[in-house]
Structures are given as structure tokens and as C-alpha cells.
Structure 1
Amino acid sequence: MIMKFLLIAIALIGTQFTASAQYKKASLQAAGLTCAMCSNATFKALKTLPFVDKIDTDLNNTTFVLHFKPNAAVNLDQIRSKVEGAGFSVAKLTVTANFDKTKVENDAHIAFGGQTLHFLDVKPQVLQGERDITVVDKDFVSAKTFKKYKAQTQMACYETGTMAACCKPGSGTASKRVYHVTI
């Protein structure tokens, strides 16, 4: 019995490391940065994230490239929260992820990296290798862009950012975070 428990625990830990490693880096464009001090405040805030290994900056485009630590669980909401905590907002967040024959289609959820991704405005395809996905949730894009993608889904999770009853009826995961993305 104990041996069976240990094997299950090891398998779950291995799964967590594999899932976490699927996000490689993110390109974050911040809105509202007007000076070098603004960029520095944002840089310092992002540097405190436990899953960030290093940050490259492009001050001309107010962009930060976050390189993630291997096997670290990446939390996209924490990235947004750090930018907002520095007094600014996210204008665009594009994440480079490593896919392994992942089938995606428009207006559908997939489990990925320990999270749920809801793909919008995509053609049915199988993703293989590194691909860039852009987060199109509220507070990750402009109000105009959010409205554009809202018109492309019938699921309530896009408005709330959480798994809604319409998304997975009877699943009991109403509070699970759903990230809405496009390719």
C-alpha cells in the first residue's frame, strides 16, 4: 500500500515538473511607462517573481522578455499583478510555450501546463514544438481587443475568467482559472 502511494506521488510530481516546463518565456508590453524610472520600477517588480530566471528589456517598445526557470510553475496572473503593482498595466502578453502534439480548435478548452487554455479565433490544428500564444483576457489587452474576442465565443468563462458551468457542465471546477488565448 505504501509502495503504491509512493509511486503515485512520484508520478504526480513528475507530471507537475513536465507541465510547468511547458512555458519557456513571455514577451510583456507594459502600458503607461513614460520614463526610465517607470521601466525600472516595473523591472524590479517582475524580477521578484519566483518563476522568472532573467529579464531582457527593450525600453523603446516598453517590452520585457521574461525567461522562465526550468521546471517552475508559471502564473500569468502574478505577472499582471506585478505590473499593476508597479503602477502600470499590461498592454500585451505573448507566451512562448512548448506543445507536444496538442490539438486545438476555436472556442475550445484544453488542459496545458497545469492550467486551462481557451483558444479563440484559431483554425483547428495540432500544435507541435515552441509556439507563441497571446493572452486575450481582460486586463491583458485593451478594452477594444477584449470586446473583439468576446464576440467570438458563446462561453461565459471569457467574461469571468473562471470555468463557467457552460464550459464543463457538472465538472465541479467553477473556480478554476481559464486563460483565453489566440495564436
Structure 2
Amino acid sequence: MKKVYIMIASIILMFSIKSNAQIVKAEIRATGLTCSMCSNAINKQLKSMPEVANVETDLNTNTFTVTLKEGNSLTPKVFKEKVEKAGFFIGSLVLTTKTETIKKEGYIAVNNASTNNAEVQIQVLDKGYVTEKEFKKLSKSLKNLATYSSNNEDDFHVKYVN
């Protein structure tokens, strides 16, 4: 009987941790856009996600600010897939996320920052989340980090930006 209680408590804990791990906002700078129809394609892909509350577009900087609904469990990978499905690429991805997300979801921080706040801003540094030129530069500076050179799509190398 004691084992059953432990198992039930473990399951409840597992689900409660998952609900706290979330991205609050994503700022995506896309590359390759030439007109408003291009930005409309990305906008449409981003709005198709049920976790999205709002998408704001800045055509001058090709930036999409995606506000997400509370309790989502998205990873940076979904943003990359949506932008690429629209036919474009991510030049920069900055996330505002709950601090717990960084600690529990396979994120690898390449710099130190105070994580006393409930939310932090991070930039994803992996291939496909920065420009090709930036990725080459990062590959040289992060060459001693074995996980960076392995290009595992489930590892997200991030730097704190605030």
C-alpha cells in the first residue's frame, strides 16, 4: 500500500513540474523575408499553434513577438519548425521563460546569470536559431563544449541576456 502512495505522489509531482516549465514569450527575428506576404506566411504558421495567445509583427526588423498561453510546454524546436515550414529561417530567437524551464528542460547555459527572478530572458545559440555567420563564430568560441559540437536537436544551448 505504501508503494502505491509513493507512486501516486511521484506522478502528481511529475505533472506539476511539467506545468511550471514554460516559455512565456518568444522574439523571433526571421531571415529571408522580402515583402509583407512573407511575414504573413510566418505569422499564419505561428498563430496556428493552440499555445499562442498573440503574435505581433515588426516589418522593419522582421521580428515576430509571440506571447504564449499560461501552462504551455513548448520548446524552441517548435518555433524553428514553424518558421521553416513557412519557407524562412530564424536569425535570432530570444525567449522569456520561467526559471524552472532552464533548470529542467535540457537547456545548457553557456554563461552565468542570476536566476533569482521568476522569469529570465535567454537566446538560443544552436544551428538553425542564429544566422550561419553567427553559428560559425559561436562554434569557434564554444568548441570546448562537447554538447555544442554534437548538434543534438534536443539540446538547447542558451545565453542569458538579462
Bigger mean CA deviation after superposition, 10-19 or 144-153:
144-153
**Alpha carbons 2:126, 2:148 under 8 Å: kept:** yes
Contact preservation (8 Å) 1:161, 1:179: no
Q: CA deviation at 1:155?
A: 2.3
1:25-44 counterparts in 2 under 5 A? 25-44=25-44
| Contact 2:21–2:98 (CA under 8 A) maintained in structure 1 | no
Question: Tell me, which stretches of 5 or more residues in structure 2 are unaligned?
Answer: none
Alpha-carbon distance, 1:14 to partner? 0.7
What residue is the counterpart of 2:92 in the other structure? 92
SS in 2 for 1:182: strand
Change (3 A) 1:68 1:15: same
Superposition deviation, residue 143 in structure 1: 1.8
Counterpart of 1:157 (choices 138, 147, 159) is 147
Normalised to the residue count of structure 1, the TM-score between the two structures is 0.77
Aligned residues: 156
Instruction: Answer whether contact 2:33 2:62 (CA < 8 A) is retained.
Output: yes
Amino acid in the other structure paired with 2:58: D
Partner of 2:27, secondary structure, is strand
Identity score, percent: 31
Answer whether contact 1:115 1:177 (CA < 8 A) is retained: no
Displacement after TM superposition at 1:132 (Å): 1.6
TM-score (norm 2): 0.86
Residues 26 and 67, structure 1, Cα contact 8 Å, conserved in 2:
yes
User: Using the alignment, how far apart are the partners of 1:70 and 1:116 within structure 2?
Assistant: 20
In structure 1, what residue type is equivalent to 2:158?
A: V
Q: Give the gaps of 5 or more residues in structure 1.
A: 101-110, 163-175
For 1:11, which of 6, 10, 13 is the aligned residue? Answer: 13
Amino acid at match of 1:9: I
Q: Name the structure with the higher helix share.
A: 2
> Is 2:125 the partner of 1:148?
no
Q: How far apart are residue 5 of structure 1 and its match?
A: 2.4
Q: Deviations over 1:115-171 (max 9, x none)?
A: 222222x2x443222322111110111122112222223123212332xxxxxxxxx
In structure 2, the partner of 1:106 is none
Conserved? CA contact 2:53–2:68, under 8 Å: yes
Instruction: Pick 1 or 2: higher relative contact order, CA cutoff 8 A, min separation 6.
Output: 2
Provide the residue aligned with 1:55 in structure 2.
Answer: 55
1:113, CA displacement in angstroms?
A: 6.1
